[in-house]
Amino acid sequence: MENKALIAQCAKVAQTWLDSPLYDEKTKADVRDMLANVDKTELIDSFYKNLEFGTGGLRGIMGPGTNRMNIYTVGAATQGLSNYLNREFADRESISVVIGYDCRNNSELFAKTCADIFSANGIHVYLFDDMRPTPEMSYAIRRLGCQSGIILTASHNPKEYNGYKAYWDDGAQVLAPHDKGIIDEVNKVRVDDIKFKGNPDLISVIGEEIDRDYLNDVKGISIDPACISRQKGLKIVYTPIHGTGMKLIPQSLKLWGFENVTCVPEQMIKDGNFSTVVSPNPENAEALTLALKLAKEIDADIVMASDPDADRVGMACKNDKGEWTLINGNQTCLIFLYYIIKNRQARGLMKGNEFIVKTIVTTELVKRVADTANIEMLDCYTGFKWIAREIRLLEGKKQYIGGGEESYGFLAEDFVRDKDAVSACSLLAEICAWAKDQGKTLYDVLMEIYRDYGFSYNTTVNVVKPGKAGADEIKAMMEGFRMQPVKELANSPVKRMLDYQSLTVHYSDGRKEPLAMPEPSNVIQWFAEDGTKVSVRPSGTEPKIKFYLEVAGEMRDAADYPAACQRAEEKAQLIKRSLGLE
């Protein structure tokens, strides 16, 4: 009976699309097919709710329907953002925005639709002439003095998805109070409120000039150009996985002085279907299959890959046995910050006011590196908008020199306010050149970090709980962890629990103290006496709860690394049992 009621509800909403003159005929034909289909799954999925505009914007499967990415849901988001901008900046003579988009199917269509809507609302639009990396869009907001910007991308999600991310005038994704203000405006918009008929006089196409300025500024973050000159023949294999990185990353590597860059030809083709991979995610080994095959053929020094909107970077290098091995997100962040701190100090570039940032779920080894070098390290919530917030708060007071997160994002500069694979790939190549200059590899650098600062092993457990029942179960799990705190992790007593929802630190001896964070978040962390750290949070975009495990351990030397990983993995299994995950 409940299913019949849901089908009737969805059919009623779908019929309003058919009855309205505001929807195009192709959309209506697709809706009719859904209504006529005996299997009502697609009808329900498409119309059972409105696609929610959240603090990160929109993300969803493309297609007709209130719960899908299409010109109407994207249009409502843009109309709502336009209304908010016109209200917030009512005292300005003109308001401007930047629009970027990636390689995905419909990204260009959505971008041009948004350009029309902004311009119809009297807002000047700077529209990129073709797909561009997300970080370049962020850069352009500041470079052009705009009040906002959007990027049409679903990052590394499967091909069926698209997304819409909104940015503010500092080039970062929107935070409070603007995020909630925009959401309120978007929720008020009806389809007949959307101004689809654009004003061409308010749309400016941008491209090469921004590319040039951005790439020149990225080149300015190079720390040791001399070692690049000596190792300009470093063999680099790069893949954009069909995405926006192909536009700028090979150019940036060339500008930095690298002369031996080989791109994976099959993946240097703009393709919203990502036809050569199962998933366009550089975190996954499968996405690097073609790049690794090419690297073996030419005996490369490094493999690097960017995701479709070129904000994340994945990498692989040869280990001490000459075997190709993937470098994970925590290791990536660690290597970048180690190199930046060590070599800025070696070259006398430090002024004493530098700081770095990591997210709370990223490896604690970063703090050990920073503390040893007397560099201030700040912790923030997951998501680069929080790293950008720290940069903004300290702008003009202290110097940001790098920040990253475990999910393969890194930002080495402050003129962009989102993670940046263009600068990250370029700096990664410099780190490899610096290592090779000393007869070492990137793997050797990682082993030296573990030797000097301690071994650490990171792994993630994702517990998927789909549907409303799953959401209720995830909520109950988080409540359970708060009501009955974890006392031990793999037999090591928990010495403190950080509850980011109540903003309280709970110590094992009963003491409590406030936790200084900008706002509450549904995250819990436990720190055990043996150095184990566990973080848990529900995903903001998927029906799952995520556990981030960090196991401290010992590693005698590089030869002991595989065994150290094995010992840590065995301990991680015990931690899972402590958490009731097995």
pLDDT at 322: 94
What are the tokens at 102?
């990636």
DSSP state, residue 50:
P
d(CA 409, CA 424): 9
Poorest-pLDDT segment among 75-79, 165-169, 474-478: 474-478
Question: Does the pLDDT at position 541 exceed 70?
Answer: no
Name the CATH superfamily housing domain 214-453.
Alpha-D-Glucose-1,6-Bisphosphate, subunit A, domain 3 (3.40.120.10)
Interacting residues of 147 by C-beta distance below 8 A, sequence separation 6+: 85, 88, 89, 92, 95, 96, 97, 168, 169
pTM: 0.95
Q: For residue range 303-362, what is the model confidence (pLDDT) as tens digits?
A: 999 999 999 999 999 999 999 999 999 999 999 999 999 999 999 999 999 999 999 999
Q: Which CATH architecture has domain 455-578?
A: 2-Layer Sandwich (3.30)
Residue 33 near residue 41, CB atoms below 8 Å:
no
For the chain, give the percent of residues with pLDDT over 70.
Answer: 99
Give the SS3 label for residue 151.
Answer: strand
Interacting residues of 185 by C-beta distance below 8 A, sequence separation 6+: 80, 81, 83, 84, 87
Q: Where are the domains of the chain?
A: 1-48, 69-206, 214-453, 455-578
Radius of gyration of the chain (CA): 24
Common-topology check for domains 69-206 and 214-453: yes
Q: For residue range 432-443, what is the model confidence (pLDDT) as tens digits?
A: 999 999 999 999
DSSP state, residue 217:
H
Q: For the chain, how far is it from start to end, CA to CA, in angstroms?
A: 36
Q: What share of the chain is helix, strand, coil (3-state, %, to 5)?
A: 40, 20, 35
Question: Does the pLDDT at position 2 exceed 60?
Answer: no
Which residues in 258-297 are b (16+ Cβ under 10 Å) and which e?
beebbbbeebbebbbebebbebbbbbbeebbebbbebbee
β-partners of residue 69 are 62
d(CA 400, CA 390): 9
Give the SS3 label for residue 142.
Answer: helix
β-partners of residue 326 are 316
Candidates 82, 119, 138, 155; catalytic one? 155
Question: Sorting pLDDT into bands at 50, 70 and 90, what band is 444?
Answer: very high
Q: For residue range 493-507, what is the model confidence (pLDDT) as tens digits?
A: 999 999 999 999 999
Question: Sorting pLDDT into bands at 50, 70 and 90, what band is 55?
Answer: confident
DSSP state, residue 52:
P
d(CA 578, CA 327): 28
Question: Does the pLDDT at position 535 exceed 80?
Answer: yes
Residue 235 near residue 299, CB atoms below 8 Å:
yes
For the CA atoms of 267, 273, 278, 283, the dihedral, rounded to the nearest 10 degrees, stands at 60
CATH number of the domain located at residue range(s) 69-206 in this protein: 3.40.120.10
Q: What is the DSSP string of 413-471?
A: -SSS-S--HHHHHHHHHHHHHHHHHTT--HHHHHHHHHHHH-EEEEEEEEEE--HHHHH
Question: Does the pLDDT at position 469 exceed 90?
Answer: no
Average pLDDT on 244-250 reads 97
Question: Sorting pLDDT into bands at 50, 70 and 90, what band is 471?
Answer: confident
- Nearest by Cα to 330 from 565, 14, 539, 41: 565
Give backbone dihedrals phi and psi of 549, rounded to 5 degrees, phi first: -105, 130
| Backbone CA torsion sign across 21, 25, 30, 33 | positive
State yes or no: is 119 an active-site residue: no
Question: Does the pLDDT at position 24 exceed 50?
Answer: yes
Residue 222 near residue 197, CB atoms below 8 Å:
no
